[in-house]
Amino acid sequence: MQALQVQEECRYRRVVLADDHRVVAQGIEQLLVGRFDNIELVTSGEALVESVRRDPPDVVVADISMPGLSGIDAMRVILEEGYDVPVVFLTMHDETNMAAQALRAGARGYVLKSAAGEELVRALDGVMDGRTYVTPTLAADAIVSTGRPRYLLTEKQLRILEYVARGLRSKQIAYELGVSVRTIESHKYAIMQELGVHGTLELVRKAELEGLIRH
């Protein structure tokens, strides 16, 4: 009966945890047991990249400061190679400019280790639903620093928004970005949720009014 309960709690297939402090990583692992079928621990940015190449996970949870490649640099490699894997940073860096840098580089979440636990779980659930999550004490200033004062959209979502504004359908956008139609639809839904709209026409109008579409 207990085994069945754990199986029902597993919501996602796989997560990679990247932190050079193994004790910290093992503590995070205990938080996520039962929510993922597979949890892999790595201790460097290079190992994180190799893990994603070998078996792309549903999500990555990474520290920023690691030996060799930093977490942000590792994420850039992953995204540049075309892996559509959301990355959540779990870090001690509580500076607004670091959070803004991570968001600009494509991060989907930024959580402070001092606030980990329930907040990390909430952040992962939000990110897996297509939203962006930033620790509340940093969120307002970090959003302003990214040049997007009201909305948390990743660079990929902004690109999708531009394609939508140009009249491209999801299948065409998926071809342009080299991802699945399902991925585009998921991002499009997340963008509409973020902007509080319910249709494509309303989305484009709102995005133009808010200056989110670069001409």
Q: Is 10 left (phi over 0), alpha (psi -120 to 50) or beta?
A: beta
Residue 37 to residue 10: CA distance in whole angstroms = 6
Give tens-digit pLDDT for 20-63: 988 888 888 988 888 899 999 999 999 999 999 999 999 999 99
Q: Are residues 135 and 167 in the same domain?
A: no
Domain interval for residue 61: 2-145
Residue 77 lies in a domain: yes
71 and 125 in a single domain? The answer is yes
Tens of pLDDT, residues 167-182: 999 999 999 888 889 8
Q: Looking at the structure, do residues 131 and 172 belong to the same domain, yes or no?
A: no
What's the pTM value of the predicted model, to 2 decimals? 0.65
Q: How many CB atoms lie within 10 A of CB 1?
A: 4
Domain count, the chain: 2
Residue 64 belongs to some domain of the structure: yes
CATH number of the domain at 135, please.
Answer: 3.40.50.2300
- Encoded tokens for 131: 């939203």
**99 and 50 within one domain:** yes
Q: What is the pLDDT of residues 120-138, one digit of tens each?
A: 988 998 888 888 888 887 7
CATH of the domain at 193: 1.10.10.10
Looking at the domain assignment, is residue 11 inside a domain?
Answer: yes
